[in-house]
């Protein structure tokens, strides 16, 4: 028997939650990585209307500086992540999950031209409660290069019985805005990045944040603006105003409406209206416009 896509995604989301708890109990992993993305956002907001089908993290600068090469970083991360998952699974009573294999690959294979070398961890897990299921989906941890972070970028987050370093809600909001822009054609052309689907899910997440923190929460959104600009600077992303966000808006809408990982509680029109409200605030606060030249292009 093979799982249908909805059941497979639900299974993946559930097991990734367990893997996250395993990583949080490893002192070494906690010292290497800062976690981010939708899984952290769900915990920060304490709402779970969107599935997260991977675990997102960045390497910490201090960790990278301790080691001479990316092959050394890869070996350490692979060993520590494997040990953390095995240790956690072995404590189950009864045992439901076992680690089949783990693979960690450098992305891109050759050195990144802007120095943003990253890793992808691919994890295969056996589920003893689904012994009759063939081809359970692999799990993925995306580990990005270190980024410039400020005092409002990171705080502790309880995950299961452990505690990790994780992006604050302000940083996540800023990164969500940046991630959306990074998927639009103008930026992909600027950095010669192959085409990918527009990240409409980030608009949904931004709308979720705005629901809990209205734009009138000036202190919060002021910090978001600073994090957004800092995040864009590290990737040389330009933002000239509303027009930048509106590039290929019909494709954005179609992608949003087709994404099965999101709940239907926020329509595209509602999410887009939320985004416009935030952009207006960022313009009025003089956070945008801004632009950053690629190294060597001046």
What structural domains does the chain harbor?
A: 5-167 (3.10.450.620), 169-284 (no CATH)
From CA 294, how far away is CA 191, in angstroms rounded? 8
Q: Which residues contact 90 (CB under 8 A, 6 or more apart)?
A: none
Q: How many CB atoms neighbour CB 111 within 10 A?
A: 11
From CA 164, how far away is CA 113, in angstroms rounded? 30
In 3-state terms, what secondary structure has residue 296? Answer: coil
Q: What is the pLDDT of residues 14-65, one digit of tens each?
A: 999 999 999 999 999 999 999 999 999 999 999 988 888 999 999 999 999 9
Instruction: Write the CA distances from 238 to 40, 57, 203, 235, 283, integer angstroms.
Output: 26, 24, 18, 9, 14
pLDDT at 261: 74
The pTM of this model reads: 0.91
Collect the ranges in the chain with pLDDT lower than 70.
Answer: 109-116, 297-298
* Cis amide prior to 233 (ω within 30 degrees): no
Q: How many CB atoms neighbour CB 240 within 10 A?
A: 13
- Is residue 215 within 8 Å of 141, Cβ to Cβ? no
């Amino acid at each position: 028997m093979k799982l249908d896509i909805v059941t497979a995604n639900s299974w993946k989301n559930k097991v990734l939650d367990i893997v996250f708890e395993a990583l949080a109990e490893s002192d070494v992993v906690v010292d290497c990585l800062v976690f981010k993305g939708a899984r952290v956002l769900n915990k920060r907001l304490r709402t779970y209307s969107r599935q997260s089908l991977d675990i997102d993290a960045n390497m910490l600068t201090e960790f990278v500086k301790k080691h001479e090469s990316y092959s050394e970083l890869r070996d350490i991360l692979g060993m520590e992540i494997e040990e953390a998952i095995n240790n956690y699974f072995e404590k189950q009573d009864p045992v439901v999950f076992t680690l089949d294999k783990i693979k960690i690959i450098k992305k891109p294979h050759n050195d990144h031209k802007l120095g943003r070398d990253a890793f992808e961890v691919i994890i295969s897990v056996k589920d003893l409660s689904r012994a009759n299921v063939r081809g359970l989906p692999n799990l993925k941890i995306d580990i990005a290069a270190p980024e410039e972070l400020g005092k409002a970028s990171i705080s502790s987050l309880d995950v299961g019985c452990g505690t990790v370093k994780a992006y604050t809600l302000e940083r996540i909001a800023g990164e969500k805005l940046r991630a959306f822009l990074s998927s639009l054609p103008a930026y992909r052309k600027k950095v010669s990045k192959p085409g990918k689907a527009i990240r409409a899910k980030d608009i949904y997440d931004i709308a979720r944040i705005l629901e809990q923190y209205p734009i009138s929460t000036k202190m919060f959104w002021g910090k978001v603006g600073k994090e957004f600009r800092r995040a864009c600077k590290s990737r040389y992303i330009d933002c000239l105003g509303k027009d930048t966000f509106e590039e290929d808006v019909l494709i954005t809408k179609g992608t949003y409406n087709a994404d099965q990982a999101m709940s239907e509680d926020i329509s595209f029109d509602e999410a887009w209206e939320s985004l416009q409200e935030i952009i207006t605030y960022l313009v009025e606060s003089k956070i945008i416009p801004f632009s950053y030249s690629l190294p060597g292009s001046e």
